[in-house]
Chains A and B, each alone.
Chain A
Amino acid sequence: MARIGVFVCQCGNNIAAEVRTAEVAEKLKDVPGVVHAEDARFYCSNPGQEQIRKMIKEHNLDGLIVSACSPHMHEKTFRKAAETAGLNPFRVEIANIREHCSWVHHDPTKDLGTEKAGDIARMMVERVKRDRPLSKIKIPVTKRALVIGGGVAGIQAALDIADGGREVVLVEREPSIGGHMAQLSETFPTMDCSQCILTPKMVEAYQHPNIRLVTYAEVEKVDGYIGNFTVTIRKKAKSIVEENCTECGECIDKCPIKATSQFEMGMTKRKAMYIPFPQAVPGVPVIDRNACPKYVKDMSKCGLCAKVCGPQCIDFDQQDTFETVNVGAIVVATGYDVMPAENFPEFSGGKSKDVITGLHFERLASASGPTGGEIKRPSDGKVPETVVFIECSGSRDERRGVSYCSAICCMYSAKHAMLYKHKAHHGQAYIFYMDIRCGGKRYEEFHRRAVEQEGAIYLRGRVSRVYPRDGRLVVQGADTLVGSQVEIEADMVVLATAVVPRLGSKDLAQRLGIGYDQYGFYNEYHPKLKPVETVTGGIFLSGACIGPMDVPTAVAQGSAVAAKVLGLFSNDEMAREPIVAEVNRTTCNACWDCLVACPYKAIEREAIKNRQGEVLRYVARVNEGVCMGCGVCVAACHSKTIDLKGYSDAQVYAALAAV
């Protein structure tokens, strides 16, 4: 016979206002198997826990019900308390009589609340009678991390994990690490040169003995589970034998073919043999096969690069290769894109070269950019006398863009206005805005500086259209503070276009098995309390792949995620909750509905063999490392072969029968 104790918590007045807890305890004593029941003011307090421990020993309890708040709050507390008193923690259940009873009902007589609380507790008694003692699952951990994306968030994560003594494989899609931060001119609010503060980190990552850079590569396939991932990386053909390249740059000098530079936002050309920017890491060039005549025309043409290459490392026939790495954790840091100007035909985006995005302006203001840091408009190279900046282009716009705020535009537009004023002293900057959202440290002061010291004129309103007239751009908007239409003849228009997820973010999420929102930003496990975790164990997030964010936040996330990964790597094995599905091998008829239904790919095919090693049949098996205990397979199983530990059918039916 079971020996169960019931502890009914008053939770101050939270429960006691609706429930006569002493009466509930008294009635529960009549339930077969309950040998002790009592109530108290706060069981989560230290004396409360001590009382539970004392009663376990005094009554030799083998099961426990705490009738209290939601298990999300204190299930862990009470299980731990029971464990220290020698009881298996999985024979402790919470009867939620606060969120499920006292908080959601009101009856001045307390009769209804008392009755319902008793019902809930009785249900849990029947459950706990059928609770098997479980022990935590142990999983081996491969102490190597994969970081996907070599922007500042990924670099920071890689550096901190590597400094913690663990190996890191850093995969980057482009030929160089650096991400969008490498494109920025100066950074708000301190105005330090972006490349000056980023390139040391890039070089450090390159030289770090624990970091291996795999550039011009993408994650093709991910198998396994927390602590034990197997990742296939596609290394795109660089057409260079990387190991032999001395990064001398001779091939780039001799290459006669020009192609559009994506790094410079299409505002200048680079060679077909190229590194994206001078400080690229690694400095190994790649051949752009969409531009090189060896590929777009016929193989015999050109080949100048191969002729001048000293170490003879040009390989025109090189193919994409695949590499498999085993890692224990994956950090996703794939960053963001900005909406292209072409999305805004009403602003003449894509039609006028002088209607550009904020990223274009960063390149124009950058000393290493296409204009050498002078603000010259793309159409004719003239220094613009009037520049109009349009905030919220596509942000907070349900019709043409996204409903969210892109978070960084208020600050960078203020920065742009300042940079423009510094570089073109007689120029006038106008900024159309809806709200100024400068909530970061020293951000508001920065914005006011743009107004009070740099003379930027802020206009409170949106722009309706921008159209060309006599070589200039007419900006037609409103200033709602005056309540009037505003028209400005500008030489250049800079659109602060919406921050959107990186192209292909949803594909990658599906390969990784992580969640994403309607836009393609990745979902955190919990937006406040687990901001860099995903619901999939062992896969973490860092930077703007989660949502629009500035450099300081992305760097902080890189470090946060490193702490999580190093924590995971601090033991040879990791323990996890044993609430997982289990298969009854004798009744499984191998229909594989569970395998199809499982969202975590936790169901495997297991071969049942005879003594001679011949396969007799196959049955489903749950990989306990991967299973999240969601129960979808249980619902899908026709033969009632799968049960969820701690939530078996027998327990559920018994609980229901108790009311």
Chain B
Amino acid sequence: MKITLGPAGPSQSFARLVESLSGEDLSKCYQCGNCTGGCPVSFAMDIAPSQVIRMVQLGQEETVLRSNAIWRCVSCLQCYSRCPKCVDLSRIMESLRRLSLRRGHEPVTVYALPDEFIRRSPQMALVAGFRKLVP
């Protein structure tokens, strides 16, 4: 992997867009990795939570929006509750999910959900899931 920055590289517009959607200031992050350390699902993410922020800062739009990390984030807020810089990563993840959904990505196919799940699971699981995973 190689990242090109400067005039030949990506502009800062992606980072600015994520900042405006999430309301979070990305420059506060000093990459301590506390979010990665505490995240219950970071073991199953292709990009660690702290790396998601870094990649947004460096304009790596495609990599971030195609990652499974943004979908596996469950908004449990462990990252935010222990972030020494009070950066709410859950909001950044949410804004990335919304950007990805707007671009047509479909992480779950609603009509393919198992019948059993739709009938037996608490509807809060459906509502929450639809809110996060469906455009």
Contact B37 A461 (CB under 8 A): yes
Contact A483 B48 (CB under 8 A): yes
Assuming the A-B contacts A483-B51, A485-B42, are A464 and B37 also in contact, with contact meaning beta carbons closer than 8 angstroms in the complex? yes
Assuming the A-B contacts A483-B36, A483-B48, A485-B43, are A399 and B82 also in contact, with contact meaning beta carbons closer than 8 angstroms in the complex? yes
B86 contact from A398, A465, A477, A485, Cβ within 8 A = A398
A398 vs B86: C-alpha distance when bound (angstroms): 7
**Binary contact readout B84-101 vs A (1 if CB under 8 angstroms, 0 otherwise):** 111000000000000000
Nearest to A484 among chain B residues (CB) is: B48
Assuming the A-B contacts A434-B32, A461-B37, A464-B37, are A478 and B48 also in contact, with contact meaning beta carbons closer than 8 angstroms in the complex? yes
**Binary contact readout A329-346 vs B (1 if CB under 8 angstroms, 0 otherwise):** 000000000000000001
| Residue A238, interface by CB 8 Å | no
Contact A485 B84 (CB under 8 A): no
- Give B8-59 interface residues, CB cut-off 8 Å to A: 30-39, 42-43, 47-48, 50-51
| Residue B78, interface by CB 8 Å | yes
A483 contact from B38, B50, B78, B86, Cβ within 8 A = B50
Q: Chain B's nearest CB lies how many Å from the CB of A487? A: 9
For chain A, the count of residues having a C-beta within 8 Å of the partner chain is 24
| Residue B83, interface by CB 8 Å | yes
A461 vs B82: C-alpha distance when bound (angstroms): 13
A486 vs B48: C-alpha distance when bound (angstroms): 12
Contact A480 B86 (CB under 8 A): no
Q: Chain B's nearest CB lies how many Å from the CB of A140? A: 52
Contact A462 B48 (CB under 8 A): no
Contact B86 A461 (CB under 8 A): no
Contact A434 B39 (CB under 8 A): no
Q: Chain B's nearest CB lies how many Å from the CB of A480? A: 4
Contact B50 A486 (CB under 8 A): no
Contact B37 A460 (CB under 8 A): no
A399 contact from B33, B37, B78, B86, Cβ within 8 A = B86
Contact A463 B37 (CB under 8 A): yes
A206 vs B87: C-alpha distance when bound (angstroms): 52
Which residues on the B side are within 8 Å of A476 (C-beta)?
37-38
Q: Chain B's nearest CB lies how many Å from the CB of A465? A: 6
Contact B86 A478 (CB under 8 A): no
A638 vs B133: C-alpha distance when bound (angstroms): 69
Which residues on the B side are within 8 Å of A434 (C-beta)?
30, 32
Assuming the A-B contacts A485-B42, A485-B43, A485-B48, are A478 and B34 also in contact, with contact meaning beta carbons closer than 8 angstroms in the complex? yes
Contact B43 A462 (CB under 8 A): no
Contact B47 A483 (CB under 8 A): yes
A113 vs B1: C-alpha distance when bound (angstroms): 56
A476 vs B35: C-alpha distance when bound (angstroms): 11
A478 vs B39: C-alpha distance when bound (angstroms): 10
Which residues on the B side are within 8 Å of A478 (C-beta)?
33-37, 42, 48, 50
- Give A50-83 interface residues, CB cut-off 8 Å to B: none
Contact B42 A462 (CB under 8 A): no
| Residue A396, interface by CB 8 Å | yes
Contact A346 B33 (CB under 8 A): no
- Give A341-374 interface residues, CB cut-off 8 Å to B: 346
Which residues on the A side are within 8 Å of B37 (C-beta)?
461-465, 476-478, 485-486
A396 contact from B39, B47, B84, B86, Cβ within 8 A = B84
| Residue A400, interface by CB 8 Å | yes
Q: Chain B's nearest CB lies how many Å from the CB of A115? A: 43
| Residue A593, interface by CB 8 Å | no
B84 contact from A399, A460, A480, A484, Cβ within 8 A = A399
Contact B33 A460 (CB under 8 A): yes
Nearest to A475 among chain B residues (CB) is: B37
Contact B85 A398 (CB under 8 A): yes
Assuming the A-B contacts A462-B33, A478-B48, A480-B33, are A346 and B82 also in contact, with contact meaning beta carbons closer than 8 angstroms in the complex? yes
A396 vs B34: C-alpha distance when bound (angstroms): 13
A480 vs B84: C-alpha distance when bound (angstroms): 16
Nearest to A395 among chain B residues (CB) is: B84
Which residues on the B side are within 8 Å of A483 (C-beta)?
36, 47-48, 50-51
Assuming the A-B contacts A480-B36, A485-B42, are A464 and B30 also in contact, with contact meaning beta carbons closer than 8 angstroms in the complex? no
Q: Chain A's nearest CB lies how many Å from the CB of B132? A: 22
Contact A464 B38 (CB under 8 A): yes
A396 vs B48: C-alpha distance when bound (angstroms): 22
Q: Chain B's nearest CB lies how many Å from the CB of A413? A: 16
| Residue A479, interface by CB 8 Å | yes
A255 vs B91: C-alpha distance when bound (angstroms): 62
A483 vs B35: C-alpha distance when bound (angstroms): 11
| Residue A397, interface by CB 8 Å | yes
Which residues on the B side are within 8 Å of A401 (C-beta)?
84
A400 vs B83: C-alpha distance when bound (angstroms): 9
Contact B82 A464 (CB under 8 A): yes
A398 vs B32: C-alpha distance when bound (angstroms): 13
A479 vs B83: C-alpha distance when bound (angstroms): 15
Nearest to B32 among chain A residues (CB) is: A462
Nearest to A480 among chain B residues (CB) is: B33
Q: Chain B's nearest CB lies how many Å from the CB of A389? A: 15
Contact A477 B84 (CB under 8 A): no
Q: Chain A's nearest CB lies how many Å from the CB of B21? A: 23
A401 vs B43: C-alpha distance when bound (angstroms): 28
Nearest to B43 among chain A residues (CB) is: A485
Q: Chain A's nearest CB lies how many Å from the CB of B79? A: 9
Q: Chain A's nearest CB lies how many Å from the CB of B112? A: 31
Central interface residue in B38, B43, B47, by most chain A CB within 10 Å: B38
Q: Chain B's nearest CB lies how many Å from the CB of A117? A: 41
Nearest to A482 among chain B residues (CB) is: B48
Which residues on the A side are within 8 Å of B42 (C-beta)?
478, 484-485
* 10 residue pairs bridging A and B, Cβ less than 8 Å apart: A461-B33, A461-B37, A464-B35, A465-B37, A465-B38, A478-B35, A478-B50, A483-B48, A485-B39, A485-B43
User: Interface residues, chain A, CB within 8 Å of chain B?
Assistant: 346, 392, 396-401, 434, 460-465, 476-480, 483-486
Top 10 A-B pairs, shortest CB-CB distance: A464-B38, A461-B33, A478-B33, A464-B37, A397-B84, A478-B37, A478-B36, A477-B37, A480-B33, A462-B34
User: Interface residues, chain B, CB within 8 Å of chain A?
Assistant: 30-39, 42-43, 47-48, 50-51, 78, 82-86
New A-B contacts (5) at CB < 8 Å, excluding given A478-B37, A485-B42: A461-B32, A461-B33, A461-B36, A478-B34, A479-B33
